[in-house]
Amino acid sequence: MASPAHVIVLGNEKGGSGKSTTAMHIFAALARSGHKVGAIDLDTRQKSFFRYLENRSIHKQKHSYTDQELPMPLMREVQASDNVDRDVAEQEELERFTAAVQEIYGSCDFLIIDCPGTDSYLSRLGHAAADTVITPMNDSYIDFDLLAKYDPYNEEIIGPSIYADMVWECRKLRAESELPPLDWIVMRNRYNPNIDRAKFSVSEQLTKLSQRIGFRVAPGFAERMIYRDLFLAGLTVLDIETPDGDPSAREAYLAARREIGDLVSQLRLPGFESDNIA
Ligand SMILES: Nc1ncnc2c1ncn2[C@@H]1O[C@H](COP(=O)(O)OP(=O)(O)OP(=O)(O)O)[C@@H](O)[C@H]1O
Ligand SMILES: [Mg+2]
C-alpha cells in the first residue's frame, strides 16, 4: 500500500439514524470489491458495528468460509476512559485512539470509523481524523434539527446546529493543516421509496442547507427489512445470493444492492471503482 487509508467516519449526534448499518454496508461494498478495510467502533457502549462484525466472524468460522468468500476488516478496539478527571480521561482516549488508528492506517485502503449517537470526546477525535464524514438522517424535522436551526413560521434556515458546527470546526482544522478538504455527505436513511422525494419538504430544505453549510446530499437507503434482517449472521445483502421464489424479496434485494452501489459511488472514494461491487 503506497498511501495511507482514506478515513470514512459515520457521524450524527441523533441516535438511531443508521450510522452503524451504513458503516457495515459500506464496509461490505469496499471489502467485496477487493479493498483492504480497517474498522474502529467509537460507540463504546452499544458497539453495534463491532457486534455486527463479530456475528460475521462467527458465521464465517461456522461455515468455513475463506477470506475471499466472506471478507473481514482489520478491527481495533478503543476503550473509553473511566478516569473521573476529564483532562486525564481525554488524554487517555487520545492516546488509545491514536494507537488504534496507527495500527490500521498504513496497512488498509480504507478505515471506517463508526461514532456514537451522542457528543463525546472520542466522537470528536473520530471526526477530526476524517477524510469523508457520512451523516445518515431520517426524513424528519427532528433529524434536520441536528443539522440546522429552522424557523417554521418564516420557513427558513436560521443557521447551523451544534453538530454542523463541529464538522465545520474539523474542516477548518484540516484546512489549517493543508490537508485536502473534508468531504461531508448527508444521506437519507429509512426513507419511504413510495414518496416523491422532490415534493417532500425535508428534502427541499436539505438541498438548501447543503449549499449553505457545504455538504453533499447522497442517495441513501430506503426502509427495507433486508438492511436489518441479516445482522445476526453478520451478513449484508452484498454477501448473499439473489433470493429465488418470492418476487418482492427479489425486488428488495436488487433495490438494496443498487442503493448501496449508488451511495458508495457517490462517495467518490480514491481508488474505488463502483463497478467492482461483487
Ligand atoms: N434502511 C434501513 N431499513 C430498515 N431498517 C434500518 C435501516 N437503517 C437502519 N435500520 C435499523 O434502524 C435501527 C437503527 O440503526 P443503526 O443502529 O444503524 O443506527 P445508529 O445511528 O448507528 O444508532 P446509534 O446512534 O444508537 O448508534 C436498527 O434497528 C437498524 O437495524
Ligand atoms: Mg450505532
DSSP-assigned letters across all residues of 116-156:
-SS--HHHHHHHHT-SEEEEEEESSHHHHTTTEEEETTTTE
- Pick 195 or 92 by higher pLDDT: 92
Point out the ligand 1 atom lying closest to the alpha carbon of residue 48: 17
Mean pLDDT of 211-215: 90
Question: Whose grid coordinates read 477470506?
Answer: 67
Q: Which ligand is nearest to the CA of 230?
A: 1
Point out the ligand 1 atom lying closest to the alpha carbon of residue 223: 3
pTM above 0.75, yes or no: yes
Q: What is the pLDDT of residues 50-91, one digit of tens each?
A: 999 999 999 999 999 999 999 999 999 999 999 999 999 999
Centroid of ligand 1 to alpha carbon of 19 (angstroms): 7
Q: Which residues line ligand 1 (CB under 6 A)?
A: 15-21, 43, 46, 48, 116-117, 189-190, 221, 223-224, 227-228
| pLDDT > 70? residue 276 | no
3-state secondary structure 238-249: CCCCCCCCCHHH
Point out the ligand 1 atom lying closest to the alpha carbon of residue 116: 27
Tell me the CATH class for 6-267: alpha beta
Centroid of ligand 1 to alpha carbon of 179 (angstroms): 32
Centroid of ligand 1 to alpha carbon of 223 (angstroms): 10
Cβ-in-10-Å burial (0-12, 13-18, 19+) of 35 comes to buried
Q: What is the pLDDT of residues 162-209, one digit of tens each?
A: 899 999 999 998 888 888 899 999 999 998 888 766 566 778 888 888
